[in-house]
Amino acid sequence: VRQRPIELLALGDGPVNVLILGAIHGDEPTTAVITEKLIAQLKSDPSLFAGRRVGIIPVANPDGYAIKSRYNANRVDVNRNFPASNFSLSRTAVVRPGKSPASEPETRAILDALTFIRPHLIISIHSISRGRECNNFDGPAEGIARLMSRHNHFPVTPSIGYPTPGSMGSYCGGDLRIPMITLELPKDETGESSWERNRAAILTAIRAAG
């Protein structure tokens, strides 16, 4: 909305494609730390993603990230703005889905990334209040979620505990049937600590994709 770029870094070239994104909610800055550390790790050791193409969007909502807001500059929750079959115009003080599905430029940029990467696995990194951290899966991704849980020891769940109409998980996992993980980190944990706790889980998921 404010003309800040949404960057996509694509690493590798293989028959299996993975898309990973952070900071779709701009008030979850730890998620951007994870994506930046993941980029550095993959660049330092390409064997970690051999036979795979990994696309990473470090900050999916740069306007919100700049002001530490859940929403974009239009005050829309990008993660309720996807053209999912369960998209709803119903609004609350927290849920702000936008005026129509994919009305927001951030949503459209992510949809463009889907077309470009054509992922066999999506990992969207979020953060949540401590005690509710989890490997939340949509679509045919329960196996991946359980593999991740062996490393980060987060619960595996098909639900975050409340409805998420118009979410990326609803659209990509539910409607398109792309295996999708919403990795929920403890919100009060540092980026460094979250990375150490989740590094093996994310790298294992990348290798298990496809």
Helix, strand, coil % in the chain, rounded to nearest 5:
35, 20, 45
Catalytic residue among 28, 106, 133, 184: 184
Report d(CA 186, CA 133) in Å as an integer.
5
Cβ distance 72 to 102 under 8 Å?
Answer: no
Pick the closest to residue 85 from 140, 160, 161, 165 (CA basis): 165
Pick the closest to residue 29 from 62, 5, 7 (CA basis): 62
Q: Is 184 a catalytic residue?
A: yes
Instruction: Give the list of residues 6+ apart from residue 145 with CB closer than 8 angstroms, or none.
Output: 135, 136, 137, 156, 181
Q: Which residues are catalytic?
A: 184
